[in-house]
Amino acid sequence: MQKNGSGETHLPIYLPQREQELLVRFREKAKEKNVDPNMMDMLVSMLMSAAKFAQMDILQRQTILDTGQIQEDVLKSNLLVLTSLVAKVYDEYDHASEGTHMECTRETELLRGLTELQKGGVAVNLGCANGTQVTEILSSGFQRVVGYDISPEMVACAKEKFPDNEFFVHDLDTGITLEDETVDLVVANFGAASEVCKDLWQETSRILRPGGRTYFSFYNQNALITRWWTPWSNSFCITINPHNDTIMVPVAG
Ligand SMILES: C[S@@+](CC[C@H](N)C(=O)[O-])C[C@H]1O[C@@H](n2cnc3c(N)ncnc32)[C@H](O)[C@@H]1O
C-alpha cells in the first residue's frame, strides 16, 4: 500500500512524527482495552516497519532513511530529549523482545566474568544511563564504582536506585574527569561505546592502571538483532541509519 498520492507527489514513506503519534494513540487504545501497552508498541512498530519496506519495494527506493548528515548539537539535544522521556521506564528494555533480552543476558554474563577476573579498586561506567545492568555487578568486585551520563534524568534515576554508588551528569565528549592510571575497569556497554566519547580509546587508556581492562559494546547495523529494527518494550523502536551513523528512535512519551 502506498501513502497518499502517486509518482512524485506521494508522501514521504517515513514520517517520524506521524509514527510517534500512532504509537501514542495505540498505547492509549491498548490501555482502554486492558491490553499490555508494551506489547501494542511492539506490534505497531512491526507493522509500521513492514509497511515501510513494502512501500520501498513498490516505489523502488533503495532507502527511506535520511542520507544527510545531522549536526552534532542537534544530535545531542535529541539525545537529551530522548533520555528525559525514557529515563523512568528504561529498565523495561530487558523485558522486551527475546532478542533484546538475549542481548542483555549476554552482556551481563560477560561483565560478571570480567568483574570476577579483574576485581579491585575502581570501576567506571561510561554512559551509565540509570545504572541498571551494570552497577550491581561492578559493585560485587570493586570498592568504588563511578557512573557518568550526560542525561540529568538518567543520573537522577541511577542515584535513586543505587544510593551507595557515585553518579555524575557529565558530557564525556569533553573527556573523563579522572586522574591518569587510577582505574581498574572501564565499561561502556549496551551500545554506549558508539556514542559516549569522541576520544574514547585515548581517554580510556589514559585513566586505566597498567593491567587494567575495558569492556566496550557498539551498535552494529549488521547484527541480526538490529538488521531492520529493534523493538524495545519501553515504547521505542530503533532503526540504525548507516548513511549518517545515527540511530532513529520514535518515542511514545
Ligand atoms: C545506549 S545507552 C546505554 C546505557 C547503559 N550503558 C546500559 O547498559 O543500559 C547510552 C547512554 O549513553 C549516554 N550518553 C550518550 N552520549 C553521551 C555523552 N557524550 N556523555 C555522557 N553520556 C552520554 C546516554 O545518555 C545514554 O544513557
Task: State pLDDT tens for residues 69-107.
Answer: 999 999 999 999 989 988 988 887 655 555 667 778 888
In a domain, 2, yes or no: no
In a domain, 74, yes or no: yes
Output the ligand 1 site: residues, CB below 6 A.
79, 83, 127-129, 133-134, 148-151, 154, 171-173, 189-192, 195-196
Mutate to test the pocket of ligand 1, among 137, 195, 203, 238 (most ligand atoms within 8 A of CB): 195
Same domain? 105 vs 211:
yes
Q: How far is the CA of 188 from the centre of ligand 1 (A)?
A: 8
State yes or no: pLDDT of 115 exceeds 70: yes
Range of the domain at 166: 98-216
In a domain, 186, yes or no: yes
Same domain? 76 vs 161:
no
Q: Is 139 helix (H, G, I), strand (E, B) or coil?
A: helix
Say how many domains are in the chain: 2
In a domain, 176, yes or no: yes
Q: How far is the CA of 192 from the centre of ligand 1 (A)?
A: 5
Tell the residue nearest (CA) to atom 11 of ligand 1: 127
State yes or no: pLDDT of 66 exceeds 70: yes
pLDDT of the residue at 146: 97
Same domain? 32 vs 109:
no
Same domain? 156 vs 184:
yes
Q: Which residues contact 153 (CB under 8 A, 6 or more apart)?
A: 83, 84, 87, 88
Same domain? 74 vs 126:
no
Indicate the DSSP class of residue 166: E
Predicted confidence (pLDDT) per residue in 159-171, tens digit: 999 999 999 999 9
pLDDT of the residue at 164: 92
* Greatest Cα pair distance in the chain: 64
Closest atom of ligand 1 relative to the 129 alpha carbon: 27
Q: How far is the CA of 9 from the centre of ligand 1 (A)?
A: 40
pLDDT band at 122 (very low <50, low <70, confident <90, very high): very high
State yes or no: pLDDT of 1 exceeds 60: no
Same domain? 114 vs 190:
yes
State yes or no: pLDDT of 16 exceeds 50: yes
Q: Is 65 helix (H, G, I), strand (E, B) or coil?
A: coil
In a domain, 243, yes or no: yes
Same domain? 129 vs 198:
yes
Same domain? 117 vs 45:
no
Model pTM?
0.81
In a domain, 8, yes or no: no
State yes or no: pLDDT of 173 exceeds 80: yes
State yes or no: pLDDT of 233 exceeds 50: no
pLDDT of the residue at 9: 56
pLDDT of the residue at 93: 65
Mean pLDDT of the chain: 84
Predicted confidence (pLDDT) per residue in 184-225, tens digit: 999 999 888 988 988 999 999 999 999 999 999 987 766 665
In a domain, 167, yes or no: yes
Same domain? 42 vs 128:
no
Closest atom of ligand 1 relative to the 134 alpha carbon: 8
How far apart CA 93 and CA 151 sit, in angstroms, is 18
Same domain? 210 vs 104:
yes
At residue 224, φ and ψ (nearest 5 deg) are -55, -40
Same domain? 27 vs 63:
yes
Same domain? 25 vs 106:
no
Closest atom of ligand 1 relative to the 197 alpha carbon: 19
